[in-house]
Structure 1
Amino acid sequence: MTPFAIAGVQMHVAALHSNVEAMRHRIEILMARFPWTQMVLFSELAPYGPLDRYAQPFPNEALEIFQEDARRYKIWLIPGSMFEKREDGRIYNTSVVINPEGEIVAKYSKMFPFRPYEAGVAAGTEFCVFDVPDVGRFGLSICYDIWFPETTRQLTSQGVEVLLHPVLTGTTDRDAEIAIARATAAQFQCYVFDVNGLAAGGVGRSLVVDPAATVLHQSAGQEDMFPIEVDLDQVRRQRETGLKGLGQVLKSFRDRDAEFTVYDRDSGADAYLKTLGPLATPGQGSAAGLKSTDPRTALGYLEKAETPPKNFSVFHGKTGSD
């Protein structure tokens, strides 16, 4: 058994003032109640809330304070994320990983800002993978990133066994996000720690999922601290023998025969996506997407006189593969 204790902190997040001292207070309470905790994860944008006008340069005073706390309690600390303002003026949604010595050992900027609603936030391009010595390999993604399985595919292909996933979801799609978190754990045979905030920081309902897609803990709509001891040997066992002795999904993907041309932007396989219109916020009474269109025209083949892919077929108005 390779045990490791990770605590999620679901707390109220204010939008108009700093939450740094409130986070520190909760760390103090958490470590007094559960001194066996080895890693602490907060929700997305917990320190300064969801407004990018409070973007901070990196490094900054808040990070220095969190580094001090990590040293004091000898914990790995991921203090959510905060908007980072870089020298060129661009703003990123950025998280850091602090080790028990108080060192920032990894930094990650969200790859998929929630566009079009976060149109002013730049996208990161570097993945975040780090090792906890004698324990295992961890990866970090932020909120909307998990909706794109390619992000977790990249991380788990590099050996990530625990996906740390701070979120700020205060909208009606939280049910879908919870389902995606469970599916991610099953697809990639990893633990998922999905930590949401409250108030301006979200609707709560944080959860922890094991590699068999079993929910180990799910918060409700109030403040919560949930230390969970995970067993990384369970990840390794299931990746070798399959989810509950069944699907060996990582090895099946490794041994695949198919190549996915959709990832080649010049292949034409994503022609349909180019018909979907701009990435824009819907307006009142918007009728976008409601026009009836021949599916082949929607894919651009009739308009551009292109030859459809070999496996493309049209049958009774539906598109699909033979």
Structure 2
Amino acid sequence: MKPFAIAGIQMKVSAVASNVEMMKLKIDITMNLYPWIEMIMFSELCAFGPLTHTAQPIPNSFESEMQAMAKKYGIWLLPGSIFEKSEGKIYNTATVINPKGEIVTRYRKMFPFYPYEVGVTPGEAYCVFDVPGVAKFGVSICYDMWFPETIRTLVTMGAEVIMHPTMSGTIDRDIELSIVRAMASINQCYLFDVNGLDTGGCGRSIVCGPDGRVLHQSEGTEEIIPLELNIERAKRSRELGILRLGQPLKSFRDHLHAGQFGIYQPNVPTPYLDSLGPLIKPSRIDAITELKIKEDTLEQKGSPVHYKGDGVI
């Protein structure tokens, strides 16, 4: 395997105007400054911002413009994600484009940020793709990372580099930075997390290596993040251990084959998880108490409890 150069673009994202022309300018600037770059990635929902009314069918003119940019410079391009409209549903969808300008694959975010990312339907398929002669890459979007099974599945499918566009502007960004480090080390992979600015996030993009060490962490300003990754490090970590110590992927494999993860078996009851209540947006404490009383009353009467929006029906 040879080294591979990736640039993350941390840029301002508008929610009221298209950001596509600025994305194209950023690609031009990146390739002028760093002509050795082989892949560019933008943040989640970078092109049109975080509002679902921008949803549109795929394929579309945005993909075509990004295909032209990838072909122009002969680079791999992951232009963040957009809201996709399909069969009456909305998905948060990322596209992967190869150096010939061809669509290699698309990925629909599996874990929308419920209960806040209202109206977005979860995707159902994991996404990996090959960069010939380099490595297998996986795609994950923002909140997906909070569910370790998502990154672990991509790695089990062979991914050595996880591309992770993010749109995080909330006060839990410090926690996310810790999760990136944890996911990279636990899964012995590179993790390239690119966040936006303004309505696209608070910045602080981060790139970690297969031992969980931070290769680069941005601050809260616009930035091009050009890094040459030694993909061989991921392979060596998996062969010999993190810092020649733990070998978590091999241990996970051995326990998995022994059937020691009962919660993942079909039809296994999860009474504790079921007891946690509905997935609703937090409210004032008196409203939460009222909802709980209503729920308990319905259960005592033997009536089925159905949840809709932020309450019981």
Distance in 1 of aligned mates of 2:70 and 2:181: 29
Shift of 1:255: 1.0
Q: Deviations over 1:260-307 (max 9, x none)?
A: 222235222x21111111101011235759xxxxxxxxxxxxxxxxxx
C-alpha distance in structure 2 between counterparts of 1:148 and 1:194, whole Å: 15
**Aligned match of 2:308:** none
Shift of 1:11: 0.2
Alignment match, 1:39: 39
Distance 2:58 2:267 in 1: 37
Q: 2: CA distance between counterparts of 1:4 and 1:266?
A: 43
Aligned to 2:190: 191
Percentage identity across aligned positions?
54
Counterpart of 1:102 in structure 2: which amino acid?
Answer: G
Partner of 1:303: none
In the alignment, what sits opposite 2:61?
61
Unaligned runs of 5+ in 2: 290-313
**Cα drift, residue 108 of structure 1:** 0.1
* Cα RMSD for the two superposed structures: 1.9
**Partner Cα distance (1:264, 1:258) in 2:** 9
Kindly provide the CA deviation profile for residues 224-254 of structure 1, in whole angstroms up to 9, marking residues without a partner as x: 0011100111111110000000001111111
One-letter amino acid of the counterpart of residue 216, structure 2: H
Relative to structure 1, the CA distance from residue 115 to residue 286 in structure 2 (aligned partners, 3 Å threshold; closer, same or farther) is farther
Residues 52-76 of structure 1 deviation map (CA, whole Å, 9 limit, x = unaligned) = 0000110000110000000001100
Number of equivalent positions: 292
1:51 is aligned to 51
Deviation at 1:127, TM superposition (A): 0.7
Q: Distance in 2 between matches of 1:226 and 1:133?
A: 23
1:165 is matched with 164
Q: Which amino acid aligns with 2:212?
A: A
> Residue 128 of structure 1 corresponds to which residue in structure 2?
127
Quick one: distance in 2 between partners of 1:135 and 1:265? 36
State the alpha-carbon separation in 2 of the partners of residues 12 and 286 from structure 1. 39
Q: Distance in 1 between matches of 2:105 and 2:279?
A: 31
SS of the residue corresponding to residue 8 of structure 1 reads strand
Hey, what's the Cα distance between the residues in 1 that align with 2:195 and 2:267?
Answer: 38
Select the structure that is richer in helix.
2
Separation of aligned partners in 2, 1:286 and 1:223: 42
Instruction: Provide the residue aligned with 1:217 in structure 2.
Output: 216
Alignment of 1:63-78 (within 5 A): 63-78=63-78
Are 1:79 and 2:79 counterparts? Answer: yes
Partners in 2 of 1:286 and 1:184 — Cα distance? 37
The secondary structure found in structure 1 opposite 2:277 is coil
Matches within 5 A, 1:1-322: 2-86=2-86, 88-256=87-255, 257-264=258-265, 266-268=267-269, 270-285=270-285, 288=288
- C-alpha distance in 2, partners of 1:53/1:284? 29
Deviations 1:78-99 (A, max 9, x none): 000000001x210000000000
Residue identity opposite 1:192 in structure 2? L
Equivalent-residue separation in structure 2 for 1:187 and 1:225 (angstroms): 27
Q: Give the Cα–Cα distance (whole angstroms) in 1 for the partners of residues 242 and 10 of structure 2.
A: 29
Q: Which moves more between the two structures, 279-288 or 147-156? A: 279-288
1:161-188 C-alpha deviation (Å, 9 max, x unpaired): 0000000001011011110000000000
Corresponding residue SS for 1:255: helix
Q: Describe the superposition over 1:194-227 as per-residue Cα deviations: whole angstroms up to 9, x where unpaired.
A: 0000000000000100001110100000000011
SS in 2 for 1:226: strand
The answer for the alignment partner of 1:298 in structure 2 is: none
Could you tell me the TM-score, scaled by structure 2's length? 0.90
Q: 1:286 to 1:44 in 2, by over 3 A?
A: farther
Letter paired with 2:170: T
TM-score, normalising length from structure 1?
0.88
Q: Secondary structure at the match of 2:249?
A: helix
Flag structure 1 segments of 5+ consecutive residues without an equivalent: 290-322
Query: How far is 1:17 from its partner?
Result: 1.0
> CA 1:262 to 1:205, structure 2 compared with 1: closer, same or farther past 3 Å?
same
